[in-house]
A and B are shown apart, each in its own frame.
Chain A
């Protein structure tokens, strides 16, 4: 049990998925939504001190808009031990099918221990599998460049960065007419790779997902795993 300002609390960790339409809900909006759900669940919540007390919720690595995930984490601080399984049931009743908790457990590990995240990319393109070899070749290069908004002093500037060092592994294969990429990307806060950036690189290098094909081509990104530095699963 950790002591903060004399008020003891326990950390209950929830692992949940966020799929379908909910991939379009931003991290910030997810935080607001979860606050309401956690309040309604009636847990013995630990409130922050101060003029405007709030329950304390800590989220794992943020998920960008357009990514689905079956591997999201939320830590909730509570003042007394409750049964983890009934907590799962209580929360799931308050959420739609597209977001459900899969497990809950008490933990003392920190999200800082998470080093890599695993993703499945699925690309459905107008010319089927024609671009697959180009994509594999691109991912095998020493250098994969993207244009990214960065800062120079206070000014916003476009920077070209090499994202290759942040890709730990990437495997390309076909599933019917769909091109799949199974990749492990860095999730270290100082070196985080947004999976969307990998798609941008492929758009740029392989000429896929062009503007004029928006209504015909599509891609999906699913976060599947979280790992520690030594590639053991993060829990």
Chain B
């Protein structure tokens, strides 16, 4: 079969053909005679998005560091290319070799966002691989999933052979090595491999090895492993010492412009804050920092190997890195002379300082973004955001004085206990930011004041203190959004909000169970593809699919989940205990806050996973 790369007429007829051709500097080509195992990292979105994903870059490097494994990349073709491929019968191929993905041993999908599920299924269809795990034959690749959505993969469990729970650096190698060993000694069959992986490798969840039963009221009765050696609960896998973990020394250099085209330096994993709506803050625990020495070495090496002019220090909350000053000082020693700028996304309001801003802006101008999340102190305490309006005003004053005239503020609608007073508070907070600008002496104000408030809708997520909560109906959310619009009287405030219908579908998929699987297949059948894009998303198509599959979406959203109910994701142990989450939920309703890990250990349970860190007791 011909690969896309050879079909020049087709490449010349689509948008951005550079997405499909590979050949980038530092992309890895291996001799097929030298390898025994072929792994394809599949990203269910277009090239520009996939190439910006740090996790995929780490895993590409890690898997390829094994001389017996050749790991390649696969991205979702854009809509126009997908149509051409279907029309001319061209299958899904890997970027590096241009070969049909069906010749691979394992296809590993990155599940980074619930709305990518339709793209995953469409990619399997393009590849000519049966959607259901049980329909796949012995000669077909193993379909694996990993990433944040793997923590509740139940809605797509029937379509996957194996789920990767936790961090992939060691886990994927273990899975590949078991596969290679069983192929070599002749004991490989899909069933035997999946059984052994589930029984022997920590962090492997094989959905087909569990029977799920339901009560009469529709709630889950039990998850029962089919074999005695398959764990009742699958424990998350972590990398214990990040200083010793593999980090790429070279990055594949995309030719076409990607979303984040720069050096990304992961400074630590986990988060010391315990925002009660935030899934990432829980599932990536415990906190494990890298040392400034390791980071500086990695930054220098990546700069020399890539020529990028920007280094982004990333984590869930960069200003919480305990040795940030040391790190930025050491980096600035050489980055200024090399015309390289530092960017620090994810800064918190309470730790923002003049010194920090100077370091960031030493080369480049731009706006600043802060996330108060809620409009009143009461609600910020409920969600445990632990920042005050004074923190915000102090930060924006520093920003204005430092010459930044545009400030973006992130908020959320529909949080538990939210009242219309809290919504009004969002508008008032934005107004106070404007007042703070005019309180500055005229000569200290930068020109062109702009305040943008961006308001998302709350989506209850598994493994958070709010995992049991009801989601507002979208009628309610739309009412709240228009109420907020009415509260904004100052035309210098720009108001953006998320589509409530998208958040509704997100909530269904985030907390769904296995009974959703036919609905997802139905929506794909109806043409859903790249739902994560505004132009790809069609709410009515989703509702039609739910109806066709006999699923009531409200069951997963506005119903709320009972505290004693068995949750679809109870089969996974992410380290943070249910007991802790329940305690946090109670405190939320009392408006009590929980201190950051750096101040006091609240016993979330993640320390039981081990790992080199400084805060856990």
Which A residues form the contact surface with B (CB < 8 A)? 20-22, 24-26, 28-30, 32-33, 35-40, 47, 51-53, 65-66, 94-96, 98, 209, 213-215, 217-220
Rounded to whole Å, the gap between the CB of B34 and the closest CB of chain A is 20
Mark each residue of chain B from 1 to 37: 1 if its CB lies under 8 Å from any CB of chain A, else 0: 0100101111111000110111111000000000000
Residue pair A20, B7 in contact (C-beta under 8 Å)? no
Selecting from B189-197, B304-312, B514-522, the interface stretch reads B304-312
- Which residues from chain A contact B25 at a C-beta distance below 8 Å? 94-96
- B559 contacts the other chain (Cβ, under 8 Å)? no
Interface centre among B5, B13, B255 (most CB of A within 10 A): B255
Residue pair A214, B84 in contact (C-beta under 8 Å)? yes
Residue pair B7, A214 in contact (C-beta under 8 Å)? yes
- Number of chain B residues close to chain A: CB under 8 A: 35
In B25-57, which residues have CB < 8 Å from any A CB?
25
- B256 contacts the other chain (Cβ, under 8 Å)? yes
Which B residues form the contact surface with A (CB < 8 A)? 2, 5, 7-13, 17-18, 20-25, 84, 88, 90, 253, 255-257, 261, 304-309, 339, 363-365
A219 and B309 contact, Cβ closer than 8 Å, known pairs A53-B339, A96-B25: no
Partner of B23, one of A94, A98, A209, A217: A98
In the complex, A36 Cα to B90 Cα: how many Å? Answer: 34
Rounded to whole Å, the gap between the CB of A193 and the closest CB of chain B is 18
Rounded to whole Å, the gap between the CB of B404 and the closest CB of chain A is 14
Using CB atoms, name the residue of chain B closest to A216.
B9
- Which residues from chain B contact A65 at a C-beta distance below 8 Å? 12, 17-18
A24 and B11 contact, Cβ closer than 8 Å, known pairs A33-B255, A98-B23: yes
Residue pair B17, A40 in contact (C-beta under 8 Å)? no
- Which residues from chain B contact A36 at a C-beta distance below 8 Å? 253, 306-309
Using CB atoms, name the residue of chain B closest to A24.
B17
Known contacts A24-B11, A215-B2, then 4 further A-B pairs from the complex at CB < 8 Å, ordered by chain A residue:
A25-B255, A29-B255, A40-B306, A214-B10
In the complex, A40 Cα to B250 Cα: how many Å? Answer: 13
Using CB atoms, name the residue of chain B closest to A32.
B257
- Which residues from chain B contact A94 at a C-beta distance below 8 Å? 25, 307
Residue pair A47, B88 in contact (C-beta under 8 Å)? no
9 A–B contacts, CB within 8 A, in A order: A21-B23, A29-B256, A32-B261, A35-B307, A39-B307, A40-B304, A98-B23, A215-B7, A217-B9
Prevailing SS type, chain A contact patch: mixed
- Which residues from chain A contact B8 at a C-beta distance below 8 Å? 66, 218-220
Residue pair A66, B11 in contact (C-beta under 8 Å)? yes
Q: Give the number of A-B contacts (CB < 8 Å).
A: 83
Residue pair A214, B257 in contact (C-beta under 8 Å)? no
A37 and B88 contact, Cβ closer than 8 Å, known pairs A20-B23, A47-B339: no
Using CB atoms, name the residue of chain B closest to A97.
B23
In the complex, A20 Cα to B11 Cα: how many Å? Answer: 12
- Which residues from chain A contact B309 at a C-beta distance below 8 Å? 36, 39
In the complex, A219 Cα to B8 Cα: how many Å? Answer: 7
A209 and B308 contact, Cβ closer than 8 Å, known pairs A22-B23, A65-B17: no
In the complex, A47 Cα to B337 Cα: how many Å? Answer: 12
- Which residues from chain A contact B7 at a C-beta distance below 8 Å? 214-215, 218
Rounded to whole Å, the gap between the CB of A219 and the closest CB of chain B is 7
A209 and B9 contact, Cβ closer than 8 Å, known pairs A25-B255, A51-B365, A52-B363: yes
Rounded to whole Å, the gap between the CB of A60 and the closest CB of chain B is 19
In the complex, A217 Cα to B10 Cα: how many Å? Answer: 10
Residue pair A24, B363 in contact (C-beta under 8 Å)? no
- Which residues from chain B contact A215 at a C-beta distance below 8 Å? 2, 7, 9-10, 88, 90
Residue pair A21, B22 in contact (C-beta under 8 Å)? yes
Using CB atoms, name the residue of chain B closest to A196.
B12
Interface centre among B8, B90, B257, B364 (most CB of A within 10 A): B8
In the complex, A35 Cα to B284 Cα: how many Å? Answer: 37
Interface centre among B256, B363, B364 (most CB of A within 10 A): B256
In the complex, A65 Cα to B255 Cα: how many Å? Answer: 13
- Which residues from chain A contact B5 at a C-beta distance below 8 Å? 21
Residue pair B17, A22 in contact (C-beta under 8 Å)? no
Rounded to whole Å, the gap between the CB of B20 and the closest CB of chain A is 8
Interface centre among A39, A215, A220 (most CB of B within 10 A): A215
Interface centre among B12, B306, B308 (most CB of A within 10 A): B12
Residue pair A37, B307 in contact (C-beta under 8 Å)? yes
Rounded to whole Å, the gap between the CB of A179 and the closest CB of chain B is 15
Interface centre among A28, A30, A36, A47 (most CB of B within 10 A): A36
- Which residues from chain B contact A32 at a C-beta distance below 8 Å? 257, 261
Residue pair B90, A21 in contact (C-beta under 8 Å)? no
Rounded to whole Å, the gap between the CB of A62 and the closest CB of chain B is 15
Rounded to whole Å, the gap between the CB of B28 and the closest CB of chain A is 12
In the complex, A127 Cα to B2 Cα: how many Å? Answer: 20
Residue pair A218, B255 in contact (C-beta under 8 Å)? no
Rounded to whole Å, the gap between the CB of A81 and the closest CB of chain B is 22
In the complex, A111 Cα to B202 Cα: how many Å? Answer: 62
Residue pair B9, A219 in contact (C-beta under 8 Å)? yes
Using CB atoms, name the residue of chain B closest to A213.
B9
In the complex, A25 Cα to B423 Cα: how many Å? Answer: 47
Partner of A26, one of B18, B84, B307: B18
- Which residues from chain A contact B13 at a C-beta distance below 8 Å? 214
In the complex, A214 Cα to B23 Cα: how many Å? Answer: 23
Interface centre among A30, A38, A65 (most CB of B within 10 A): A65
- Which residues from chain B contact A98 at a C-beta distance below 8 Å? 23
Kindly list the 9 A-B residue pairs having the minimum CB-CB distance in the complex, ordered from nearest: A36-B307, A40-B307, A21-B21, A24-B17, A215-B88, A21-B23, A39-B307, A66-B12, A25-B255
Rounded to whole Å, the gap between the CB of B65 and the closest CB of chain A is 21
Rounded to whole Å, the gap between the CB of B612 and the closest CB of chain A is 34
Residue pair B364, A52 in contact (C-beta under 8 Å)? yes
- Which residues from chain B contact A96 at a C-beta distance below 8 Å? 23-25
Using CB atoms, name the residue of chain B closest to A22.
B23
In the complex, A26 Cα to B255 Cα: how many Å? Answer: 9
In the complex, A87 Cα to B364 Cα: how many Å? Answer: 30
- Which residues from chain A contact B363 at a C-beta distance below 8 Å? 52
- Which residues from chain B contact A47 at a C-beta distance below 8 Å? 339
Rounded to whole Å, the gap between the CB of A31 and the closest CB of chain B is 11
Using CB atoms, name the residue of chain A closest to B84.
A214
In the complex, A20 Cα to B255 Cα: how many Å? Answer: 14
- Which residues from chain A contact B339 at a C-beta distance below 8 Å? 39, 47, 53
In the complex, A47 Cα to B339 Cα: how many Å? Answer: 10
Interface centre among A25, A35, A220 (most CB of B within 10 A): A25
- Which residues from chain B contact A24 at a C-beta distance below 8 Å? 11, 17-18, 20-21
- Which residues from chain A contact B257 at a C-beta distance below 8 Å? 28-29, 32
Rounded to whole Å, the gap between the CB of A216 and the closest CB of chain B is 8
In the complex, A94 Cα to B21 Cα: how many Å? Answer: 19
Residue pair A214, B256 in contact (C-beta under 8 Å)? no
Using CB atoms, name the residue of chain A closest to B305.
A40
Rounded to whole Å, the gap between the CB of B14 and the closest CB of chain A is 10
In the complex, A195 Cα to B372 Cα: how many Å? Answer: 54
In the complex, A209 Cα to B308 Cα: how many Å? Answer: 41
Using CB atoms, name the residue of chain B closest to A55.
B339
- Which residues from chain B contact A33 at a C-beta distance below 8 Å? 253, 255
- Which residues from chain B contact A35 at a C-beta distance below 8 Å? 307
- Which residues from chain B contact A51 at a C-beta distance below 8 Å? 365
Rounded to whole Å, the gap between the CB of B82 and the closest CB of chain A is 15
In the complex, A81 Cα to B7 Cα: how many Å? Answer: 44
Using CB atoms, name the residue of chain A closest to B23.
A21
- Which residues from chain A contact B305 at a C-beta distance below 8 Å? 40
In the complex, A57 Cα to B480 Cα: how many Å? Answer: 52
In the complex, A52 Cα to B84 Cα: how many Å? Answer: 42
Using CB atoms, name the residue of chain A closest to B304.
A40
- Which residues from chain B contact A30 at a C-beta distance below 8 Å? 255
Residue pair B365, A26 in contact (C-beta under 8 Å)? no
